[in-house]
Amino acid sequence: MAALRAAKQALRKEIKRRVAAVTAEEKLRQSLVLSRKLFKHPKYVSCKRIAVFVNMDDEVRTEEIIKDVFRLGKSCFIPRYESRSSHMDMLKMKSLQDIQTLPLTSWNIRQPAKDDKSREEALATGGLDLILMPGLGFDRSGKRLGRGKGFYDTYLERCIRHPKGKPYTIALAFKEQLCQEIPVGDNDVLIDEVLFEDDQ
């Protein structure tokens, strides 16, 4: 267990270094390529209820995706993380403007306030069809390296217990976040698919 934790920590450091070296322009360019790929993806086209992460600086930009979700009339859910635990809820948003007026967390991302009880939580109602997954690193077989808090692994466990079952999961990755192999433990949930810009 300690060896796995150490391996993950070393890899986190290495990936953070690689992503930090990527310019803002290149991050945006890759993000737009991935957005266009996603828009054609059958799972995205057919989904009605989708959870999208609000990106941090070292993650794929999701604003264009969020705009498209609302344009198509899909139900859009974003995460609310509880910083003192590994608990996360996916709460329904009304519009991009709705998201842009949310308070900022200490991680500098927008999410509904802790005492905001007015929003629908995805698992309290119809579940989710698709979750777009953030992360620090990924490999091609669907292994994911998160930030060590276990938010998404815990949430996916809750999804599995929901009558609708586990949603399809797609990770959005910069090329610099791809690894040969991610070390995983028993609690790490595999992702169905990792989208990245291939050099074809």
Binding residues for ATP, as ranges, are 8-12, 144-152
Containing 100, the helix (H) or strand (E) segment is: helix 96-100
Number of neighbours of residue 187 by Cβ within 10 angstroms? 10
Q: Which residues are annotated as a binding site for substrate?
A: 54, 59
- Cβ partners under 8 Å of residue 89, min gap 6: 79, 80, 121, 122, 123
Residue 2 has, within 13 A of its CA and on its CB side, a CA count of 0
Q: Are 172 and 34 in contact (CB under 8 A)?
A: yes
**Burial (0-12, 13-18, 19+ Cβ within 10 Å), 98:** middle
Q: Which residues are annotated as a binding site?
A: 8-12, 54, 59, 144-152
